[in-house]
A = this chain, B = another copy of it.
Amino acid sequence: MTIEDSLTRLEPDFAKGGGLLPAIAQDAATGEILMLAYMSPESYRKTLESGEVHYYSRSRQEIWRKGATSGNLQKLRELYLDCDRDAILLKIEQVGGIACHTGKRSCFFYRRSAGDLYETL
Write out the residue numbers on chain B whose beta carbons fall within 8 Å of the beta carbon of A81. Answer: 108, 110, 112, 118
So how many copies of this chain end up in the complex?
2
Write out the residue numbers on chain B whose beta carbons fall within 8 Å of the beta carbon of A101. Answer: 83
Q: Do B108 and A6 touch (CB < 8 A)?
A: no
| CB of A69 closer than 8 Å to a CB of B | no
Write out the residue numbers on chain B whose beta carbons fall within 8 Å of the beta carbon of A35. Answer: 82, 87
Give the distance to chain B from A82, nearest Cβ to Cβ, in Å.
4
Give 1 or 0 for each of A20-43: 1 = CB within 8 Å of chain B CB. Answer: 001010100011110110000000
Interface residues of A (CB under 8 A from B): 3-4, 6-11, 22, 24, 26, 30-33, 35-36, 48, 78-85, 87, 89, 100-102, 104, 107-113, 116-120
